Structure 1
Amino acid sequence: MNSGHGCSSKSSSQAIICRAAVCWGAEELLRMEEIEVEPPRSSEVRVKMLCASICHTDLQRWKGLPRSRALFPIVLGHEGVGIVESMGEGVTKLKEGDLVIPTFIGECQECTNCLSGMTNICENYPVNRNGLMPDQSSRMYVRGQRLYHVFTCSTWSEYTVMNVNYVTKMDPRVPLPHASLISCGFSTGFGATWKEANIEKGSTVAVFGLGGVGLGVIGGARMRGASKIIGVDLAENKEEKGKFFGMTDFIKPGGSRKSISQEIKEMTRGMGVDYSFECTGVEPLINEALQSTVVGRGVTIAFGLGDKGTAPISLIALISGRTLKGSTFGGIKPQTDLPTIIEKCINKELQLDALVSHEVQLEDINQAFELLKQPDSLKVIIQITKSLNY
């Protein structure tokens, strides 16, 4: 058995001792622990993590939400990028040394859903919410105690094991922080503009919440040729970020006695927008997003889960001919669609440096949680390996 952080094993039959940020209970400070990461089993790869980032879903898991799925102790993190250190049996599309990112849904390209062309929710490799690998076991232990995974990832660790069906090969020309960002958040918003909404040139768009997902929507809407892109956020500093990615108008809620949907309608000659995207999960905003769209044909895409996981919906808004559609990963199929986003990063059509507001080392992970509370905070990059020259 190897020991010490930053270690590696050329044999997939050996366990590795490395460092990880472990959450032992809801809203408790994460503790750096030496954990044991088992070798990969069939159809699995063990990955040496290079860097990671924080997504809102990680914060929910840290808070113990949803309550019915609170799992501790757990290694958080599902955005990131790393290199394949070893492989289990049956892995044919990857090799040791490949750069990879995790995806929280898979794509078998064989099931009814994958073949339908109507959804990215794979029947064989769906979102895994029980904190274990597909075979219902863990690959991480601390002092003999089982650790739960986030989805099939757990990227806030120097090493982790992933099922190969939840891994996408990454082109090394993409900067590592950018690779981490497109493994979930930004891609979710960007992809939804063509996979879920199929925004037409000249369309009008409203985006509720200008975090990583919302800015992804703005960037995608701009590339799709939207004529008006209205961003909505409580933080005034998000206006500059939104405009960088292509936003044309900005609303800070509370600035007037009018509702957000009323303000949006005034900006669109009383009609409302063609498409709205709700990226926060804040309960009242679901209906505001729905009511901000044009009667008879407006479409609202909802990503956010919120703390409760439920929200009341205005039936009047729905029966007026509007459509409310939920979305996972922006409708993106990891193997089929992510290469399009990767190529846009390589061609510098997507400039993702503007998404990064802070960087921390893995051992300073708790500082990252504090940074996220700051008004200027957007995406925090976590450097897992001291040297990113892999």
Structure 2
Amino acid sequence: MVIRCKAAVLWKPGAPLAIEEVEVAPPKAKEVRVKIVATGICGTDIKSMDTKEFSQFCPIIMGHEGAGIVESVGEEVSTVRTAGDKVIILCIPQCGECDTCLNSKSNICAEIKVSERHLTSEDTSRITCKGKFLHQYIATGTLSEYTVIREISVAKIDEGAPLEKVFVIGCGFATGYGAAINSAKVTPGSTCVVFGLGCVGLSVIIGCKAAGAARIIAVDINKDKFAKASSVGATFCVDPQDFDKSIEEFLIDMLNGGADFCFEVTGKTETVATALGSCHKDHGVCVIVGSLGSWSNITINSQLFISARILKASVLGDWKTKEELPKLVSDYMAKKFNLDRLITHTLTLSEVNEAVQLMKSGQCIRCVLLP
């Protein structure tokens, strides 16, 4: 049967999200209908919502970081079989069949082409509002009480997992933690610099600490985030505005030539060159973690490449999502890391616009939205 419920709909870029009654149809073959129990607002959501070019996808249900309970499944679904299974939403699918999924060096499943059109299938979605079908952000649309998602974008997790905590593994935590563990492959005793102290940046710090980094320098222009950064493992915090010299020069002097690993997590193109230049010229690795936006140009002085520095990107921490994000949930259950410090606010779905403003103002690391 069709389920009527509430969802946060963006009707046009720059507008507040509207809480609307939507109709969620039953899942078709290889689809799963999920009751969303916990979801969050990510910086990527906000950046998209404020972009004029995003109008081609409106109206759209936003949100891509969430966890919930299986309500029903369509035909040919095998990886989640039972109504009541706890699942985490995968903003990058894993079909397990394409060349990328079969390649151990990448996690960008070929089926992401559907996600980029913000549809659950080739040309439509299962959710409508006021007679119009709704796009679903990154083919998920977690800012809804119920959603229908392709099976390749849902993974079953530990039945004892607290969904109001582990939802953040679906994007923010996995992105940052994996950037340190998988993408950079931070080494024991190394020095790391993290530019940007939101949920993802703090998760990078957690990853660096877990990998055994000896020094972790946290960089941000919002000093209110320094205590949080220190609590998750930063050994030194710095505001670039406090110096007459550039932060790059400061770090090179402080670290005797630069850092072993630098992470750009601000999502600002101008910070990429700063992060790369802050790496040691002989062996430094710089990882772009922040969402820079589509087709943004990055200006980097060619002198930075007359060296052995490495510049690379990381998407969702390089995790093979369907097989590895459930393992991260299990690691959380085994107390291998703590997510509590990342979740600073709890609101309801109806208060989603307040959550957006908390994120924009820098007052919030991650807000969990409950039904």
The answer to whether TM tops 0.5 is yes
Residue 278 of structure 1 pairs with residue 267 of structure 2? no
Which residue in 1 is equivalent to 2:79? 93
Task: Quote the residue 1:17 is aligned against.
Answer: 4
Amino acid corresponding to residue 362 of structure 1 in structure 2: L
Are 2:20 and 1:33 aligned?
Answer: yes
Cα deviations by residue, 1:59-98 (Å, 9 ceiling, x for unpaired): 0121136x26752111100011110001001101112111
Q: 1:301 to 1:126 in 2, by over 3 A?
A: farther
C-alpha distance in 2, partners of 1:69/1:22? Answer: 13
Q: Which residue of structure 2 lines up, in the alignment, with residue 312 of structure 1? A: 299
- After superposition, the Cα gap between the structure-2 partners of 1:69 and 1:202, relative to the gap in structure 1 and judged at 3 Å, is farther
Percent identity, aligned pairs only, is 37
Question: What TM-score do you get using the length of structure 2 for normalisation?
Answer: 0.95
CA distance in 1, matches of 2:312, 2:41: 25
**Rounded Cα–Cα distance in structure 1 between residues aligned with 2:66 and 2:57:** 21
Deviations 1:115-159 (A, max 9, x none): 221111122456711121232211111111121110111011111
Structure 1 residues 354, 20: closer, same or farther in 2, change over 3 A?
Answer: same
- Of 284, 287, 293, 1:298 maps to 284
1:70 and 1:293 map into 2 onto residues whose CA distance is 40
What is the letter of the counterpart of residue 197 of structure 1? A
339-348 or 238-247: bigger deviation: 339-348
Instruction: Specify the code of the residue in structure 2 equivalent to 1:246.
Output: G
Amino acid at match of 1:177: E
CA distance in 1, matches of 2:89, 2:323: 15
**Which of 152, 159, 167 is matched with 1:180 structurally?**
167
Tell me what 2:317 maps to. Answer: 330
1:221 alignment partner, one of 202, 208, 212: 208
Deviation at 1:181, TM superposition (A): 0.7
Match of 1:259 in 2: 246
| Partner deviation per Cα, 1:181-206 (whole Å, 9 max, x = no partner) | 11101110101212111111111111
Structure 2: 5+ residue runs without aligned partners?
A: none
Q: Does residue 1:287 correspond to 2:262, yes or no?
A: no
The equivalences for 1:31-180 within 5 A come to 31-64=18-51, 67=53, 70-94=56-80, 95-125=82-112, 128-180=115-167
Question: Which whole-Å CA distance do the structure 1 matches of 2:92 and 2:336 have between them?
Answer: 25
Distance 1:38 1:314, change over 3 A: farther
Counterpart of 1:11? none
Conservation of the 8 A alpha-carbon contact between 1:355 and 1:378: yes
- Code of the residue aligned with 1:360 in structure 2: it is L
1:264-286 deviation line (CA, Å, top 9, x unaligned): 112212x2111111111212210
Whether the 8 Å contact between 1:106 and 1:126 is mirrored in structure 2 is no
Looking at structure 1, the residues matched to 75 and 132 of structure 2 have their Cα atoms a distance apart, in angstroms, of 26
Residue 191 of structure 1 contacts residue 330 of structure 1 at CA under 8 Å; is this kept in 2? yes
CA distance in 2, matches of 1:23, 1:247: 37
Structure 1 residues 202 and 69: CA distance shift in structure 2, 3 A: farther
Structure 2 CA distance, aligned partners of 1:379 and 1:335? 23
How many pairs does the alignment contain? 369
Moved more, 373-382 or 34-43: 373-382
Partner Cα distance (1:336, 1:172) in 2: 16
Aligned-residue CA RMSD (Å):
1.7
Q: Counterpart of 2:118 in 1: which secondary structure?
A: coil
> What does the per-residue CA deviation read over 1:282-311, in whole Å, with 9 as the maximum and x for residues that have no partner?
122100000000113211110223356332
CA distance in 2, matches of 1:376, 1:143: 35
Q: 1:316 to 1:53 in 2, by over 3 A?
A: same
Higher normalized helix content (fraction of residues): 2
Task: Quote the Cα distance in structure 2 between the aligned partners of 1:376 and 1:148.
Answer: 29
Tell me which residue corresponds to 1:362.
Answer: 349
Which sits farther off after the overlay, 121-130 or 327-336?
121-130
Runs of 4+ in 1 over 6 A off after TM superposition: none
